[in-house]
A = this chain, B = another copy of it.
Amino acid sequence: MNPVVINILQNIPKKVPEELFETLFSKGTVKIERIVSQGQCCLINDWYDQVQDEWVILLEGQAQLQFKDDSTPITLNSGDYCLIPAHTKHRVHWTDPEIKTIWLAIHIYPTENDHE
């Protein structure tokens, strides 16, 4: 039987009152996640501080990420990707309020053998 094929740009609710997180695949130390944003952002001085590395690509829309070590937010457009290493404090500064922003995030958690 052929594997199931799903389109990542489909099955998106018309309204996204809150940022939508959906796990597409998870195994061992890896989680692949779709995130849908529309206008959401994090509060000023509200920083993610993650134990895992996050490799993230913006597939549609537009957003700005801010990193605590650098005051200038960086803008991500369609196709832009970056690595957010574990414990790199960051926040979503802005997402486009007019259109939906679709992210694909790969979370790579430390193994038991990794030292935090």
Across-interface contacts of A9 in B (CB, < 8 A): 78-79
A9 CA to B81 CA, complexed, in Å: 10
Instruction: Say how many copies of this protein the assembly contains.
Output: 2
Q: Complex: how many Å from CA A59 to CA B82?
A: 16
Q: Are B30 and A59 in contact (CB under 8 A)?
A: no
Where chain A touches its partner, the secondary structure class is strand
Using A5-B82, A7-B81 as known contacts, list a sample of 16 further A-B pairs with CB atoms less than 8 Å apart, ordered by residue number in A: A2-B70, A4-B83, A5-B81, A6-B80, A7-B77, A7-B79, A7-B80, A8-B80, A25-B83, A25-B106, A27-B53, A28-B108, A28-B114, A29-B111, A59-B59, A104-B104
Hey, which bits of chain A sit against chain B, CB under 8 A?
1-10, 24-25, 27-30, 32, 53, 55, 57, 59, 67, 69-70, 72, 74, 76-85, 88, 104, 106, 108, 111, 114
